[in-house]
Each structure stands twice: as C-alpha cells, then as structure tokens.
C-alpha cells in the first residue's frame, strides 16, 4: 500500500494529488505512459512538478521542471540531474532509490530538510517520484513533485534526506519480454526405401 503523509493544511501543492492522479492513470497497468500525462489535471501542482528521464542506473535528469524548482536552485534545472537537490552525503542512497524506481519499478517518497545558514532559513520539504513508460514501452521516465515549505532565501538550496520510502508498484516487476526463438525446421519424413526388380532377358 502506498501512503503519503499529509502536507500543510490548505496547501494546494499537495503531493497526494499527484499520487492520486498517477494511480488513476494505471487503468489495469502497473505503470502509466508518459504520453498519458495531462497537465490540466494537475494544474495546481505544476510549479512543483517535473518529468525525469533515466540516463544511467541510479541517474536521471530533468526533462521538464516547474518554476518553484528553478527558484530553489537559482537557475533553470532542465538537463540537470535530479540529485542536484540532494546534499553529497545522501546521493549514494538516493541513487539506489532511483535505480529501484525504474528497475522494479517502484514509487519513491522522501522527507527533506535543508539546514539554516547565512541568508538561508531552515526548509523542510517532500519529494515524490512515480515511474512512467516511454513511447517505446520501457520504464525510463518518471513524474515527480518537490514541495518545499517556506521561502528559499539565498540559493541554491540542497537537502538532506530525513526519511526515504521505496515501495514496489503493485503487480511486481515489469515483465521483460525476450525475443521468441526462431522456429526449428520441421524434418521431412522419408518413407522406407523401395526395391525395384530389374530383369534381363
């Protein structure tokens, strides 16, 4: 069972809405397609929402990202690895979660904390990562949401992972279909040899 803790009361940028939307897209499939995403259905979350592309095991980059992510980083994050928001000490564990996101596939939920510093108030936040299929059918895309509570102050802001939850998608791992073996040639059945009587006069 996938469970999300509630966000701030009255906060329209609720990661539970993204999860509910993604679950509604499954329609009997374990993982929806990237092409199924309709931004109009998650309009209230768009500034915090992003699309990831898997580029290597444990590594994914932003394809699309909302304005609030650019505000946290101080620049456009498109093309950057999603691990840019994680402090170096937590990136190895985060890479393991990303690998499971695409390979099992699984959902990933993170509780985040960014310590206070000069010109930087303490920030808490939540990140949700949900797997998607590409147009080719492989699980190499993900939709996600990063919601930070409060103003970022001096940027860039990076986070420690206070809690990480990785849950396999219901239905188990995605089946990998192997090519069907080539059919064996059917042997030609030959009857017993015929004897022919040859006479000479």
Tell me the pLDDT of the chain (201 aa) as tens digits: 444 443 343 343 578 999 999 999 998 889 999 999 999 999 989 999 999 999 999 999 999 999 999 999 999 999 999 999 999 999 999 999 999 999 999 999 999 999 999 999 999 999 999 999 999 999 999 999 999 998 999 999 999 999 999 999 974 433 333 334 445 555 555 555 554 544 555
Q: Which CATH superfamily hosts domain 15-168?
A: PAS domain (3.30.450.20)
pLDDT computed for residue 175 by the predictor: 36
Buried b (16+ CB within 10 A) or exposed e, 83-119: bbbbbeebbeebbebbbbbbebbbbbbbbbebeeeee
3-state helix, strand, coil in the chain (%, to 5): 25, 30, 45
- Residues 170 and 2: their CA atoms lie apart, in Å, by 9
In what side-by-side order are the strands of the sheet with 106-114?
59-65, 49-56, 141-149, 123-132, 106-114, 160-168
Nearest Cα neighbor of 22 from 43, 11, 38, 8 is 38
Select from 140, 145, 65, 156 the least CA-distant residue to 102.
140
pTM (predicted TM-score): 0.79
**Are the CB atoms for 96 and 129 separated by under 8 Å?**
no
- Residue-range domain boundaries for the chain: 15-168
């Amino acid at each position: 069972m996938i469970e999300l803790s509630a966000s701030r009361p009255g906060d329209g940028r609720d990661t539970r809405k993204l999860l509910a939307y993604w679950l509604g897209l499954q329609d009997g499939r374990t993982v929806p397609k990237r092409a199924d995403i309709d931004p109009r259905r998650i309009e209230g979350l768009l500034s915090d929402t992003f699309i990831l592309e898997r580029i290597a095991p444990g590594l994914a980059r932003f394809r699309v990202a909302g304005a609030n992510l650019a505000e946290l980083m101080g620049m456009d994050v498109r093309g950057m690895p999603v691990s840019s928001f994680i402090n170096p000490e937590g990136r190895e564990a985060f890479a393991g979660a990303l690998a499971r996101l695409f390979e099992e596939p699984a959902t990933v939920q993170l509780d985040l904390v960014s310590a206070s510093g000069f010109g930087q108030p303490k920030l808490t936040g939540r990140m949700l990562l949900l797997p998607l299929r590409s147009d080719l059918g492989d699980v190499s895309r993900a939709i996600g949401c990063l919601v930070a509570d409060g103003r970022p102050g001096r940027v860039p802001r990076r986070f420690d992972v206070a809690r990480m939850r990785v849950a396999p998608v219901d239905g188990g791992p995605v089946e990998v279909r192997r090519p069907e073996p080539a059919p064996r040639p059917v042997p030609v059945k030959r009857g017993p040899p015929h004897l022919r009587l040859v006479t000479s006069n």
